[in-house]
Amino acid sequence: MAIIIPVHNESGVIGEALKHFVSLGADEVIVVDGKSVDGTYEILKGRSHGVMCYQTAFPERSLQMNLGAFESKSDVFIFAHIDMRLPLNAIAVVREKVKQGFIGGGFKKSYSPSTWLLRVYIYLLNQIYLGKMHCLVGTNAMFVAREVFEKMNGFSEVALLEDMIFSECLNKEGRIAIVDHPVIVSSRKYLKNGVIKQILRNVRIVLGYKLLHESPVKLREIYSGLPVGRQG
């Protein structure tokens, strides 16, 4: 089993995060850097024990995750974010789900540090968006059997929402497992941008994709507030 983590400009958190991922006992921990400019890749290259590292020519999460899967020798992939923490029994839980015939799935999640508004928001996401609708996103630490991943040709290499597109395709391939024991996701984005503002931005993106059928390029412009050519 492989844990695959795309990163970009995460030198401030990557050291402690890698200790956590290595401690989980996966067969492989693969980190793919998206051409960071803050020394992230240099930190990765200096860590020879327990971590495989690669680099893409530019930051695009779908491309990075596909490269990690291509380089992996494992039969099951868990796609994680560098600012999340998986349950200590995550590897055993995912193995058991695959043995039970699930082709993939994801974990419920919680935010840390949290606020009352984030707790309400995450409750709705876990119970309805994930639990009832089986809509997975990157912060659910999605996992998938290699055979299914390759049949789906991996993640669509798009500007945004590669996780939602992947989730839609995954649901068509077979049974999806939802793990109740949550991953802990950093709320740094919400605290930096404002909790209400970030939630509304997320809702706008989902509605734009699901109802208005806007392109990932257009949605990335909306999400970042910048023209695509000025993305950093």
Tens-place pLDDT, residues 43-83: 998 876 789 999 999 999 999 999 999 999 999 999 999 99
Question: In this predicted structure, what is the pLDDT of residue 232?
Answer: 30
Question: In this predicted structure, what is the pLDDT of residue 168?
Answer: 94
Question: In this predicted structure, what is the pLDDT of residue 225?
Answer: 67
CA-wise closest residue to 43 among 21, 12, 87: 12
pLDDT at 205 over 70: yes
How would you label 130-162 residue by residue, b for 16+ Cβ within 10 Å and e otherwise?
beeebbbbbbbbbbbbbebbeebebbbebbbbb
Stretch 125-140: mean pLDDT, rounded?
Answer: 93
**Total-model pTM:** 0.92
Question: In this predicted structure, what is the pLDDT of residue 231?
Answer: 33
Stretch 4-27: mean pLDDT, rounded?
Answer: 95
Question: In this predicted structure, what is the pLDDT of residue 48?
Answer: 62
SS3 203: helix
Q: How confident is the model at residue 224 (pLDDT cuts 50, 70, 90)?
A: confident
Instruction: Name the amino acid, one letter, at 63.
Output: L
CATH homologous superfamily, domain 2-230: Spore Coat Polysaccharide Biosynthesis Protein SpsA; Chain A (3.90.550.10)
Stretch 214-226: mean pLDDT, rounded?
Answer: 81
Which helix (H) or strand (E) is 95 found in, with range?
helix 90-99
Average pLDDT, the chain: 92
Q: Which residue has the higher pLDDT, 225 or 152?
A: 152
pLDDT at 90 over 90: yes
SS3 37: coil
Stretch 13-21: mean pLDDT, rounded?
Answer: 93
Q: How confident is the model at residue 177 (pLDDT cuts 50, 70, 90)?
A: very high
CA distance 135 to 178: 10
Instruction: Name the amino acid, one letter, at 112.
Output: S
Question: In this predicted structure, what is the pLDDT of residue 228?
Answer: 36
- Which percentage of the chain shows pLDDT scores above 90? 83
Question: In this predicted structure, what is the pLDDT of residue 116?
Answer: 95
Cβ within 8 Å of residue 5, ≥6 positions away: 21, 29, 30, 31, 32, 68, 79, 80, 81, 82
CA-wise closest residue to 117 among 183, 180, 223, 199: 199
Q: How far, in Å, are 73, 111, 179, 198, 231 from residue 183 at the CA level?
A: 25, 9, 9, 20, 29
Q: How confident is the model at residue 230 (pLDDT cuts 50, 70, 90)?
A: very low
